[in-house]
Amino acid sequence: MTKPLNKIFSLLFFLLCGTGSNFALAAEHADKILFNGFIYTMESDQPNVQAIALRDGKIMALGTSDDMRKLGGNTTEFIDLKGRMVMPGLNDGHSHPTEGALANLYSCKFEFTATTEDIAETLKSCVEKNPDALWIVGGRWDSSFFENNDIPSPRKWLDQYSGDKAVYFSDDSGHNGWANTKALELTGVTKDSKDPQGGKIMRDAKTGIPNGLLLEEAQTVLEKQLPDWTEAQYQAGVREMVRLANGFGLTGIKEAIARDPILKAYHDVDQAGGVTMHIAASISTPYGHREAPLDYERIEKLRDQYASKHVHTNFVKITNDGVPTVSRTAGMLTPYLPHKDFPDNFRGLIHVAEDILTQDIIELERRGFTVKIHTAGDRSVHEALNAIEKAHKATGRSDLRHELAHAELIAPDDLPRFKALNVVADLSPYIWHPSPIVQSIIDALGDRAKHIFPIRDFIESGAPVLAGSDWPSAVPSLNPWIGIEAMITRRDPYGKTPGVLWPEQAITLEQALKIFTIDGARALRLEAETGSLKVGKSADLIILNQNLFTIEPTDIAETIVEMTFFEGKVVHKAQAAQ
């Protein structure tokens, strides 16, 4: 019975709509009209307008305040922007937001800037508050913490404040860990433990006893044995993440390592109506040194099982190296500065050999996945580009826009290959300013570390570019306005570390906003639906408290998002705007 009726309605609708008018049916009033504003659309044919009309979750029309008002009816909500700026919702192209939210809610947390006294106090209070816990897990200490503080045994230092607990803290990069004696005992890390492939157990120079610091794969071995969050905690983490994201004006995010329980939580919370944004979930693969190809069947199964309306699962994450800080775990083309704890001419670690990586990308391309590859060092970038080039030849497709994450240092010959291979430079502007983490990179690499994150060179070469917070790795907040400011100033938006990092690579506000809106949407494979303000696209937009084009660039980080709309609904309203 329903089919013929549907047909009649479709025919009626066609007859009524097919009048050639740009406006929708006169009887169809807008749900909401935002007028009297500066609306920045990200569309070149109509870069800014005064007003926008929304209906059924979509953008119905854009134009002058007078024209848009005509689309209103009895039930229309009118919002006077009073000159304020509106723009598309932002997309964060690389973060670990649910891990960040879980850490906020449930872990023993201290700031990257924490001193030895701060960490001791935090740990003592976590031990006190959790009398029944076996483990105290948290972080995050800054990458140069042990360079800057003379702590002969990090393990014994923790023992002083641990009581009877096993303690484990991650560093700011998320690649290295710090454990106390009980944590090492419980996870079987002893004097006789060999360094795992792709990792290093740091030891006391005289006795060979592990000193509590675990780099890369050595950390993974321990982390696998940590107690996991419960399903209810994961779901609470997703809800908290969405609340934070919408509050900062994010309506899209690319989860850079969606572990199985996180994927499930995204799916379940979305089914329950709790995901008021788009999430592109990069399905996680085993971390660390790997000699076998990936389990492609498993990845496909997860994709099919957990995709839902706002959760997009055509994405995979592969980690190919570590970080170029003093831990020296990123794969470099030329050696790190010499250091007593590392072999001569040490060039870091590559997790997956080029031939295995090639095989993975071929198989994932055949199955339609976009792959995000963590490549911090220039050797890791180089080998990943080689693998992608070979894969494109084998599959005949180059449309999937794989991403090289961080891409901090690039060999000059590799720069044009991004455009040629349609590979996206997935950059981390939130950290490209003088800071402890950048100092740690300079300490490991010397002066060449003063030339990291060449975004302007990328853009001028025609390479596709993306940006992400990487939160909770390396940055204290998911706040995208921090990253946008740093792209333009290359100075510390928090004002903590003076100076400027490679100012010649600064970009313009227009370029930065494009990266955070339509380019971000493209990385989510949703550019036809969101990322710009255009008739027919999803009504994903934000109202700001200030016009970014009339303020000093150094004030961008203080931007407050007064309202966030997702699919036409208000999903965030700032206190003052209520």
Instruction: Give 535: exposed, middle or buried? Use CB within 10 Å, 0-12, 13-18, 19+.
Output: middle
Distance CA 268, CA 260 (A): 12
Stretch binding Zn ion (CB under 5 A), from 55-63, 348-356, 464-472, 485-493: 464-472
Q: Name the residue nearer to Zn ion (CB basis): 60 or 431.
A: 431
Q: Name the residue nearer to Zn ion (CB basis): 182 or 374.
A: 374
**Nearest distance from residue 569's CB to Zn ion, in Å?**
30
CB 259 within 8 A of CB 98: no
Q: Name the residue nearer to Zn ion (CB basis): 201 or 523.
A: 523
**Nearest distance from residue 406's CB to Zn ion, in Å?**
8
Distance CA 168, CA 418 (A): 39
Q: How far is CA 231 from the centre of its chain?
A: 23
Q: Name the residue nearer to Zn ion (CB basis): 369 or 566.
A: 369
**Nearest distance from residue 69's CB to Zn ion, in Å?**
45
**Nearest distance from residue 533's CB to Zn ion, in Å?**
29
Q: Name the residue nearer to Zn ion (CB basis): 427 or 557.
A: 427
Distance CA 110, CA 514 (A): 34
The contact mask relative to Zn ion for 203-242 (x = CB under 5 A, - = no) is: ----------------------------------------
E strand segments, 320-473: 370-375, 403-406, 424-427, 465-467
Per CB under 5 A, 443 contacts Zn ion: no
Stretch binding Zn ion (CB under 5 A), from 55-63, 182-190, 256-264, 565-573: 256-264
Per CB under 5 A, 256 contacts Zn ion: yes
**Nearest distance from residue 84's CB to Zn ion, in Å?**
33
The enclosing H or E element of 300 equals helix 296-306
What angle is formed at CA 571 by the lines to CA 567 and CA 576, rounded to 5 degrees? Answer: 135
Q: Name the residue nearer to Zn ion (CB basis): 211 or 469.
A: 469
Stretch binding Zn ion (CB under 5 A), from 391-399, 466-474, 511-519, 525-533: 466-474
Q: Name the residue nearer to Zn ion (CB basis): 324 or 568.
A: 324
Distance CA 350, CA 290 (A): 10
Stretch binding Zn ion (CB under 5 A), from 250-258, 349-357, 556-564, 566-574: 250-258
Write the DSSP assignment of 195-243 as a string of letters.
PPTTEEEEE-TTT--EEEEEEEHHHHHHHTTSPPPPHHHHHHHHHHHHH
Distance CA 410, CA 425 (A): 10
- 470 to 489, contacts with Zn ion by CB under 5 A? 470
Task: Dig out the tokens for 353 from the structure.
Answer: 């050999």
Dihedral (Cα; 402, 405, 410, 414), 10-degree rounding: -10
**Nearest distance from residue 428's CB to Zn ion, in Å?**
8
The enclosing H or E element of 317 equals strand 311-319
Q: Name the residue nearer to Zn ion (CB basis): 37 or 322.
A: 322
Amino acid, res. 548: L
**Nearest distance from residue 469's CB to Zn ion, in Å?**
9
Stretch binding Zn ion (CB under 5 A), from 183-191, 255-263, 507-515, 521-529: 255-263
**Nearest distance from residue 256's CB to Zn ion, in Å?**
4
Stretch binding Zn ion (CB under 5 A), from 232-240, 254-262, 300-308, 363-371: 254-262
Distance CA 93, CA 467 (A): 5
Q: Is the peptide bond before 290 cis (omega within 30 degrees of 0)?
A: no
Distance CA 43, CA 469 (A): 25
Stretch binding Zn ion (CB under 5 A), from 249-257, 288-296, 388-396, 501-509: 249-257
**Nearest distance from residue 48's CB to Zn ion, in Å?**
34
Q: Name the residue nearer to Zn ion (CB basis): 409 or 542.
A: 409
Amino acid, res. 357: L
Q: Name the residue nearer to Zn ion (CB basis): 365 or 403.
A: 403
**Nearest distance from residue 544's CB to Zn ion, in Å?**
27
Kindly list the residues in this chain that would bind Zn ion in the complex (CB under 5 A): 256, 470
